[in-house]
């Protein structure tokens, strides 16, 4: 089966809107050999790995690294945007229903927990019915990647006990610069507000998440061996994860754009200063620097 072209970390190819299955973007027929009369109760839910993170944070790259592992199966050739499980199912609303990139985490209803509707345990059959046909069940670990998983961890854990949640984060200024073209009417400060809202939810939820692993995109790029060794150990993968597909140049355009704001118009300098004043200290808590987007310091989750 041919691996589909990757458009960059979570880059919708239609201007930001990623249609869900059944609303203008139709899922593919399940691949040959898919299970038709499979007993869903046979799935050991500890095999499931959910990948989440804001759009343009690297979930696509991370999902591909995991799916390329010989003992892991991910979605490929599903016919939905970026092969994301959120667009294959109809149990819960996808991120676009809450505004899409730069907006969805600001909606209270997008934060799914064990108390959300439909109840997680009643959603299991519907979710597996949508996802199982696109997994190779001969592989032990089964990966589903969708950006809003980062604020759905409690829901997914309740539905699939023992499952793992892997969240990748990226410098908030880079994420804001990368998503602003999809978010008309929202400035950089508004996109920063969304970044921190999403990660504040994850931090609050993390105390209840039993198999949560959080990594920085920048560590994956700059120290791939260490980042992937830690992830391999957390997930219990028997063989190493390959870093061969990692592209370390994807942040350079945003570094240049940020530097140009400092040297450009008064409006651009004002925008940079506003973000520094509002979010500089909070950015530093994640080991990032608001002035130098390539600086990387220690941090603790």
pLDDT in tens, 174-231: 999 999 988 887 899 999 999 999 999 999 999 999 999 999 999 999 999 999 999 9
pLDDT in tens, 48-59: 999 999 999 999
Whether residue 291 is predicted with pLDDT greater than 90 in this model: the reply is yes
Beta bridge partner(s), residue 142: 48, 73
For residue 190, what pLDDT is reported?
A: 94
Q: Which of 18, 172, 14 is nearest to 98 (CA)?
A: 18
> Using the 8-state DSSP alphabet, how is residue 83 labeled?
G
pLDDT in tens, 227-261: 999 999 999 999 999 999 999 888 999 999 999 99
Contacts made by residues 297-301, CB under 8 angstroms, sequence distance 24+: 299/216, 301/203, 301/206, 301/214
pLDDT in tens, 88-137: 999 999 999 999 999 999 999 999 999 999 999 999 999 999 999 999 99
How much is the mean pLDDT over the chain?
88
- Rounded distance, CA 280 to CA 203, Å? 19
Report how far apart the first and last C-alpha atoms of the chain are (Å, whole number).
38
Domains of the chain: 40-249 (3.40.50.300)
Q: How many CB atoms lie within 10 A of CB 171?
A: 28
């Amino acid at each position: 089966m041919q691996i589909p072209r990757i458009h960059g970390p979570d880059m919708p190819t239609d201007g930001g809107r990623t249609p869900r299955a059944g609303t203008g973007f139709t899922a593919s027929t399940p691949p040959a050999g898919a299970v038709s009369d499979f007993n869903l109760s046979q799935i050991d839910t500890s095999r499931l790995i959910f990948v989440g993170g804001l759009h343009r944070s690297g979930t696509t790259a991370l999902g591909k690294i995991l799916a390329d592992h010989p003992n892991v199966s991910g979605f490929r050739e599903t016919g939905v945007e970026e092969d994301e499980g959120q667009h294959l199912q109809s149990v819960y609303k996808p991120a676009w229903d809450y505004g899409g990139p730069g907006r969805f985490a600001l909606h209270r209803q997008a934060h799914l927990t064990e108390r959300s509707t439909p109840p997680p345990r009643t959603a299991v059959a519907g979710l597996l019915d949508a996802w199982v046909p696109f997994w190779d069940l001969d592989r032990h670990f089964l990966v589903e990647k969708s950006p809003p998983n980062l604020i759905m961890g409690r829901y997914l854990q309740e539905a699939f006990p023992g499952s793992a949640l892997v969240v990748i984060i990226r410098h908030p200024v880079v994420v804001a610069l990368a998503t602003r073209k999809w978010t008309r009417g929202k400035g950089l400060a508004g996109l920063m507000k969304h970044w921190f809202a999403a990660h504040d939810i994850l931090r609050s939820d993390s105390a209840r998440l039993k198999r949560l692993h959080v990594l920085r995109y920048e560590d994956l790029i700059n120290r791939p061996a260490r980042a992937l060794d830690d992830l391999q150990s957390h997930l219990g993968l028997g063989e190493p994860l390959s870093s061969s597909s990692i592209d370390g140049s994807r942040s350079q355009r945003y570094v240049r754009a940020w530097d140009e704001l400092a040297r450009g118009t008064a409006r651009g300098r004002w925008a940079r200063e506003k973000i520094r004043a509002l979010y500089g200290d909070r950015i530093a808590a994640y080991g990032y620097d608001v002035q130098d987007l390539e600086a990387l310091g220690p941090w603790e989750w």
